[in-house]
A = this chain, B = another copy of it.
Amino acid sequence: MHKILILNRNESASDFLGKMLEREGFLQFVASNPETALERIRAIQPQLLIVDLPLEGISGVEMCLQLRAANLNIPTIILGESQDEMDKILLLETGADDYLVKPIGTRELLARIRAILRRTVRNPGLRIRFGDVEIDRERRIVACKGGEVKVTPCEYKLLLFFLQNADRALTRDTILNSVWGYTDYPNTRTVDTHVNKLRNKFEPDPAAPRHFLTVHGVGYRFLM
C-alpha cells in the first residue's frame, strides 16, 4: 500500500483529494507547510508527494529546491494554477516529476500517480507476504524472517498456488491438476512430499502447521 503526502496551505482543501486517494487504495497524509512536509517525508517515507500550489510564503520552485537540497529524492507531482509555460518548465527542471493545471481531472491525476509509481516503486504487486514469509515474484525469491530460503521450481509453483487459493480446502487431484498439469491422477503422494517440504521451510514448527493445514481425507488448506 503506497503512502502519499499532500502538501497544501489549508488542509481542508486537500480533503477531497485525500478521500479520493484513500478510495483508490492509497494511504494519505497531509502537511500544511514546507517544514512539516519535510519532517513527515523523513518520518513516514511516502512514495509520492503532491504539492498543491500556492504555498504560504514560499514558491513552488523554492519548495523543489529544498526537497532536492534535503536529498530526499521523492517523486513529486505539482498541482498549479498557472497555465504559463514558464512556471511549469521551471518546476519540472528543478525536480518536479509532473505538473498539472487546476482544475484537476481526478482520473487523470490518478493515472499520472500510477504512471510515476510504476517507474519509481519497485513492483509492489509482485510481493506477497504471509506469516514471516515474503515472496518476491520479480526476483523469484522467497524469504523467511528476512533470510532467503531456496525453493525448487516445483515448491515455488505449489506455494504460489496455495497463495492464490488461500483458505480453501484443496483436494490432491485439484492440486495435481493445477500445479503439475496432470489430467489423470496416479496414486501418488507427490503432493504430500512437497507440502512437507514447504512446511519444513516455512512453518516455525513443522510438526504443528499454522499455514499448510491438512484436511484429513481431502487434501490441504492454506492459511495466510
Residues of A within 8 A of B (CB): 75, 85, 88-89, 92-93, 95-98, 105, 107-108, 110-112, 114-116, 118-120, 138-141, 152-153, 167-169, 215-218, 221
Contact = CB atoms under 8 A, between A and B. Distances in A.
B96 A139 contact: no
A83 to B, nearest CB: 11
Give the oligomeric copy count.
Answer: 2
A108 B138 CA distance: 35
Contact of A92 (B85, B112, B169): B112
Contacts of A218: 140, 153
A157 to B, nearest CB: 9
A95 B107 CA distance: 15
Contacts of A97: 115-116, 119
B88 A108 contact: yes
Contacts of A169: 138-141
Contact of A152 (B110, B112, B168, B216): B216
Nearest to A137: B169
A24 to B, nearest CB: 12
